[in-house]
């Protein structure tokens, strides 16, 4: 249920915080007092379109929030859980800047206006004073019947089946249209894949070929350079070892004292001689073991040339050839599967169509049954509303063409006077009759809806007298099963409320404000008296209001 509504700097409201209870809450006030502000603020919290005119004059932005108890609203809790939002309660917040931009949050998490609107449909149902206009659109009649019958889940399943059928049909059509083109593409792919299969390039083979080619191509140069380096280290005339040996001999011939002072140098030269001998041996070993294999080099270069040729042919880099092979092979496999899929798709399309038709027949049967029940329930309410002679009928006929939601075309028919044929609501001339029919349908629909709060915005327009009292009793009865907020201008309806919220406009010298307050018994009597007799409250009017309130609170429809 709606637990709290907070309004700040919206329209002519500076700051207002309202707590709501279960049951029926009557909302009244003089014309222009701002009853529409309350519903406007609530509608913005539920995702209605915002504009800069919503912001109170002189304020930077309007701030609105609505807190709901969702413990008895399983669909709303499921919606919140699916989006990983806290589902213990639900706080909707909306801000509207003075330049018209708006932001929204659900339980403190930023959200889109579409999300607000989607969640709002699970939280509360608003029946406006122009709700009867929906009855003039026959496409709304099917939706109302489905809601009354609780068929929405099955209708969604029906639409899902229809979407699946259409998707398969589109795939089948595309497969058939593309068959000639596909055949040519398949032939080309098969040739290309066979060519790449024959190449049989392995993982990391290209890198290894390039390494071998570099090594084999430079082998002769490498051997020559290594041999020259080895010769430089040898005892030949110009070899480093010979010159080093001569240097050591000269040091060994020095007088004893000088030889002693250069002993460390002599050791260093001896160490260098040992390292030169080892380097020479390693260089000679490298020269002897390095393979000169021109035939192998030729084979490696031929393999590399083949890889590069294939790469150029397919306009890819050589290192991309293996990925290309996999991609073409996968595409060929898919096309081969598609060829087999035409038969499969044909079979699946027929199965999907039959599934949809079977479900549509089942839903149609339930609609026909529910149509009788809805017609009877609405007719019963019309009798309470002073249309005892009226006959209401819900006609379910077969459409000329099937639609996602089934075969059925639904139309509400009314016979307001005995002896006349039932006519579509769209041809009902009397606005008062249409208003009462609308209210009867809304009351019946509300009884069969979820426990979401119901808001009735002056749905009693065009009703007065005893009928108005019955309308109030109907709304009060709905309030015993949940939460009902009813904006009304009729005292007979307001008196039926379990509580009464009064809206008042206060005009100062420089500004105008709206205040709202929950009335106690004394306040309710005075407000009912005002609604009965105007601004000047006589003892007679007050007594009438007191009696009306007492009678309403102790009676039940």
Of residues 116, 117, 528, 495, the one with CA closest to residue 486: 495
Q: Is the model's pLDDT at 54 over the cut of 90? A: no
Tell me how far apart the alpha carbons of residues 148 and 445 are, in angstroms, rounded to a whole number: 5
Q: Is residue 30 part of a domain?
A: yes
Q: Which of 292, 311, 333 is the last residue of a domain?
A: 333
- pTM of this prediction? 0.58
Structure confidence at residue 428 (pLDDT): 66
**Which span out of 11-20, 212-221, 449-458 was modeled with the highest average pLDDT?**
11-20
**Whether residue 293 has pLDDT greater than 50:** yes
Please say if the pLDDT value at position 324 is more than 50.
yes
Pairing, β 13-19 against β 483-487:
unpaired
In a domain, 397, yes or no: no
Instruction: Say if residue 193 is in the same domain as residue 120.
Output: no
* % residues pLDDT > 90 (the chain): 29
Which CATH number fits the domain that encloses residue 103? 3.40.50.300
Tell me what pLDDT residue 402 has. Answer: 82
Query: CA-CA distances (angstroms) from residue 553 to 173, 470, 488?
Result: 67, 13, 17
The residue written with tokens 């279960």 in the block is 22
- 491 neighbors 39 (Cβ within 8 angstroms): no
Task: Please say if the pLDDT value at position 131 is more than 60.
Answer: no
111 and 23 within one domain: yes
**Average pLDDT of span 477-491:** 87
Whether the CB-CB separation of 528 and 495 falls below 8 Å is answered with yes
Residue 139's pLDDT band (boundaries 50, 70, 90)? confident
Q: Are residues 475 and 544 located together in one domain of the fold? A: yes
- Kindly give, in sequence order, each residue whose CB lies less than 8 Å from that of residue 456, ignoring residues fewer than 6 positions away: 127, 442, 475, 484, 485, 486, 487, 488
DSSP state of 554: T
Q: Are residues 228 and 310 in the same domain?
A: yes
pLDDT at 279 over 90: no
DSSP states of 194-238 as a string?
HHHHHH-PPTTHHHHHHHHHHHHHTHHHHHHHHHHHHHHHSSSTT
> Is 341 domain-assigned?
no
Complete DSSP assignment for 118-173: HHHHHH-EEE-TTGGGGGGSTHHHHHHHHHHHT-HHHHHHHHHHHHHHHHHHHHHH
Q: What are phi and psi of 512, to 5 degrees?
A: -125, 135
Last residue of a domain, one of 333, 355, 388: 333
- How many domains is the chain built from? 2
Determine the pLDDT at residue 557. 44
Mean pLDDT, rounded, for 293-313:
85
Same domain as 323, residue 198: yes
> What is the spatial distance between Cα 62 and Cα 54, in angstroms, rounded to a whole number?
7
435 part of a folded domain:
no
Do 106 and 206 fall within a single domain?
Answer: no
Cα angle 19, 25, 30 (rounded to 5 degrees) comes to 95
**Mean pLDDT along residues 482-503:** 90
Q: Which of 345, 224, 334 is nearest to 290 (CA)?
A: 224
Pairing of strands 391-403, 90-97: unpaired
Mean pLDDT of the chain: 84
Do 528 and 494 touch, CB atoms closer than 8 A?
yes
Residue 351 counted as domain residue: no
Q: Is residue 149 part of a domain?
A: no
Assigned domain for 242 exists: yes
- Specify whether the CB–CB gap between 548 and 527 falls below 8 A: no
Q: What range defines the domain where residue 53 resides?
A: 1-124+452-557
Residue 189 and residue 120 in one domain: no
Q: Is the pLDDT of residue 429 over 60?
A: no
Q: 341-400, pLDDT tens digit by residue?
A: 778 888 999 999 999 999 999 999 999 999 999 999 999 888 888 788 888 999 999 988
Q: How confident is the model at residue 499 (pLDDT cuts 50, 70, 90)?
A: very high
pLDDT at 413 over 50: yes
Map residue 459 onto helix, strand or coil: coil
Residues 198 and 324 in one domain: yes
pLDDT at 503: 86
Tell me the HSE value of 382 on the side-chain side, using a 13 A CA sphere.
Answer: 24
In-domain check, residue 444: no
Cβ within 8 Å of residue 307, ≥6 positions away: 199, 201, 206, 209, 318, 321
Interval 195-234: pLDDT, tens: 988 988 888 888 888 888 777 777 667 766 767 777 777 7
Q: Which of 311, 333, 355 is the last residue of a domain?
A: 333
């Amino acid at each position: 249920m709606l637990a709290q509504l907070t309004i700040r700097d919206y329209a002519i409201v500076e700051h207002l915080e309202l707590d709501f209870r279960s049951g029926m809450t009557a909302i009244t006030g003089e014309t222009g007092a701002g009853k529409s502000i309350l519903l406007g603020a609530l509608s913005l919290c539920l995702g209605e379109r915002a504009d800069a005119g919503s912001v109170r004059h002189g304020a930077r932005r309007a701030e609105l929030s609505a807190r709901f108890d969702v413990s008895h609203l399983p669909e709303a809790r499921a919606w919140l859980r699916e989006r990983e939002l806290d589902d213990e309660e639900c706080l909707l917040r909306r801000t509207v800047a003075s330049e018209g931009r708006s932001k929204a949050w659900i339980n403190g998490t930023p959200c889109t206006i579409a999300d607000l609107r989607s969640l709002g449909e699970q939280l509360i149902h608003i029946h406006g004073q122009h709700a009867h206009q929906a009855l003039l659109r026959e496409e709304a009649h099917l939706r109302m019947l489905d809601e009354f019958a609780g068929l929405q889940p099955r209708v969604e399943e029906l639409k899902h089946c229809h979407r699946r059928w259409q998707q398969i049909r589109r795939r089948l059509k595309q497969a058939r249209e593309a068959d000639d083109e596909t055949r040519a593409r398949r032939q080309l792919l098969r040739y290309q894949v066979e060519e790449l299969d024959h190449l049989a390039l392995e993982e990391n083979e290209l890198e290894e070929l390039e390494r071998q080619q570099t090594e084999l191509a430079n082998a002769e140069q490498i051997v020559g350079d290594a041999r020259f380096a080895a010769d430089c280290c040898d005892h030949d005339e110009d070899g480093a070892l010979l010159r080093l040996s001569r240097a050591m001999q000269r040091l060994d011939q020095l007088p004893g004292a000088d030889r002693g002072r250069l002993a460390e140098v002599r050791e260093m030269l001896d160490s260098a001689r040992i390292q030169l001998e080892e380097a020479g041996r390693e260089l000679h070993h490298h020269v002897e073991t390095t393979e000169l294999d021109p035939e192998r080099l030729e084979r490696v270069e031929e393999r590399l040339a083949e890889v590069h040729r294939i790469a150029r042919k397919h306009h890819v880099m050589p290192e991309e050839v293996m990925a290309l092979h996999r991609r073409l092979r996968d595409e060929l496999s898919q096309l081969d599967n598609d060829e087999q899929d035409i038969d499969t798709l044909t079979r699946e399309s027929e199965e999907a169509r039959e599934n949809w038709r079977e479900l549509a027949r089942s839903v149609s049967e339930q609609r026909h049954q529910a149509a009788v029940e809805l017609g009877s329930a609405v007719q019963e309410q019309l009798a309470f509303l002073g249309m005892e002679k009226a006959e209401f009928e819900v006609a379910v006929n077969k459409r000329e063409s099937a639609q996602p939601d089934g075969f059925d075309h639904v139309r509400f028919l009314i016979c307001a006077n005995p002896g006349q044929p039932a006519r579509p609501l769209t041809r009902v001339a009397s606005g008062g009759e249409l208003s009462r029919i609308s209210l009867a349908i809304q009351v019946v629909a509300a009884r069969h809806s979820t426990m979401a709060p119901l808001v009735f915005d002056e749905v009693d327009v065009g009703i007065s007298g005893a009928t108005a009292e019955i309308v109030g009793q109907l709304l009060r009865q709905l309030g015993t099963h949940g939460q009902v907020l009813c904006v009304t201008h009729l005292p007979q309806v307001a008196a039926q409320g379990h509580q009464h919220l009064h809206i008042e406009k206060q005009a100062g010298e420089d500004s105008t404000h709206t205040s709202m307050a929950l009335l106690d018994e004394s306040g309710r009597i005075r407000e009912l008296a005002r609604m009965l007799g105007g601004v000047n409250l006589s003892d007679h009017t007050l007594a009438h209001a007191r009696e009306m309130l007492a009678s309403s609170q102790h009676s039940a429809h």
